[in-house]
Amino acid sequence: MESLTSKLIDFIESKPISDTDLTAASHFVLDTVACVIGGQNSIPGKILKNWFDDADQGTGSDVFLASGLAHILEIDDLHRDSVVHPGSVVIPLAWHLAARLGKSGRDFLEAVLYGYEATTRIGMAVGPAHYKVWHNTSTCGPFGVAMAASKLLGLSREQTIWALGSAGTQSCGLWQFLPDEAMSKHLHTARAAEAGYTAATLASRGFTGAELILEGEKGFFRALCPDAIPEAILANPNSPWQLTQTSIKPWPCCRHTHPTIDAALELHSSFNPQTEYHIQIETFQAALDVCDRPSPQTAYTAKFSLQHCVNVALTDGAVNFGSFDDTQRKNLSKSRNKISVIATPEYNDAYPERWGATVRITSPSKEAITAVRKDCKGDPQSQLTPEEIKTKAKMVLSNAESQDGSEQLIEQILELGETEKMPAFPLEGTEKIH
């Protein structure tokens, strides 16, 4: 009987790739690369970059650095059904490896599609209980990276099975960083990318990995997934590539806050923060599990606060990198107490296929104004246009210390499908894979 790993590999390798799929992949590459470059000009980004540059501490790997940076600004892509951020783990590795091997832009983009598919399909199978303790991006990411690397390395079917087996045994990443307000989350994407790359390159040399890594008696599902859904890995075989079902985030904060932000922005012009009011947020339980924090003490935890994000959107009519700093948190601290958050059956039943929310503002006279969102802006049902994707990339790149050549870089990335040989990754200090 064939393993789930072997069936997944056959499934991905038999899936047709169109020019439209490659164009979509280039949009996600642009989004991720902008996150990498913008992420280095943050406190954790600077620590990671300085560590990387410090020979006394060991340089680590460029894949580790780029994938860690990609996740720092909390504005990298998200696949809803698996709750993973595939771009931050798959794309830096695929670009670095494709450049090192002299691959074409098309080869690179095809590997990206492969990596997204493996990461998200395994992510859809882990079950909801997994997400309460484990960070899906970190646990499922190594599989996708190994799949992308195996594609670029031209591994045999057996070697690819080994690669995914060794990737799975390195899965890790716990949510404890959030209540402790720590920076550890950025290690999740970094280690996932490094683990997948290590697994694939070892497999290319004959290093074996467990074929039953997913469903085995001592495998991934048994160890980490109490309510795993193994059949989800191969479900809906005629569906589009999962990359095209992935969302691009317009705002630099946890995706669970986005439907509430979008609804709050609609109400901004009717909102007077000087009057008495009460705000109620209705959304799905997973959003409360991660983002019900009325008093965030740091810029990073403010990005995981439904209360703060709604307050900013209502008050300022915009959410950007400055929305979470000390000044904003202090200015809005008192008004956050006027916000209540509940999960409702309507949004729980729709999740994770649809991430929705209602924001309702009620005055003392019981007059209310309401905005409803069934989906997040940037989801497949509410996609950003190509121009909006470019505008977002410019915004994220503006967070970098140097913005020289941003326009040229954007166009270069969008034309990668026609590139005969992949250039070096566009971040100083990450030109080689160790």
**CA 70 to CA 29: how far, in whole Å?**
11
β-strand pairing of 357-362 with 368-373: antiparallel
pTM, entire model: 0.87
What pLDDT is recorded for position 427? 81
Closest by alpha carbon to 420, among 104, 110, 108?
A: 104
What pLDDT is recorded for position 52? 86
Kindly state the average pLDDT of the residues 424-428.
85
Percent of the chain topping pLDDT 90:
83
- What's the pLDDT band for 148 if we cut at 50, 70, 90? very high
Kindly state the average pLDDT of the residues 401-429.
87
Per-domain residue ranges of the chain:
4-250+381-418, 255-377
**CA 238 to CA 211: how far, in whole Å?**
25
Contact 374, 354 (CB under 8 A): yes
In this structure, of 188-197, 248-257, 402-411, the range with the lowest mean pLDDT score is 402-411
Kindly state the average pLDDT of the residues 81-106.
97
Q: Is 171 exposed, middle or buried (0-12, 13-18, 19+ CB in 10 A)?
A: buried
Does the pLDDT of residue 55 top 60, yes or no? no
What pLDDT is recorded for position 31? 97
Cα–Cα distances in Å, from 434 out to 60, 100, 338, 431? Answer: 8, 11, 52, 10
Structure tokens at 53: 């540059």
What pLDDT is recorded for position 112? 98
What pLDDT is recorded for position 390? 95
Average pLDDT, the chain: 93
Structure tokens at 139: 């646990």
Look at residue 372 and give its three-state secondary structure: strand
Kindly state the average pLDDT of the residues 296-310.
93
Which amino acid is it at 144?
A: G
- What's the pLDDT band for 431 if we cut at 50, 70, 90? very low
Domain 4-250+381-418 classification at class level:
mainly alpha
Instruction: Write out pLDDT tens, residues 316-371.
Output: 999 998 999 999 998 888 776 689 999 999 999 999 889 999 999 998 888 899 99
Contact 310, 358 (CB under 8 A): no
Other Cβ atoms less than 10 A from the Cβ of 197: the count is 29
Q: Matching CATH topology for 4-250+381-418 and 255-377?
A: no
**CA 37 to CA 48: how far, in whole Å?**
13
β-strand pairing of 368-373 with 278-283: unpaired
Does the pLDDT of residue 58 top 70, yes or no? no
Does the pLDDT of residue 280 top 80, yes or no? yes
What pLDDT is recorded for position 433? 45
Contact residues for 37 (Cβ-Cβ < 8 A; gap 6+): 69, 396, 397, 400, 426, 427
Domain 255-377, CATH homologous superfamily name and number: 2-methylcitrate dehydratase PrpD (3.30.1330.120)
What pLDDT is recorded for position 59? 46
Contact residues for 266 (Cβ-Cβ < 8 A; gap 6+): 371
Contact 144, 89 (CB under 8 A): yes
Closest by alpha carbon to 416, among 22, 16, 17, 15?
A: 22
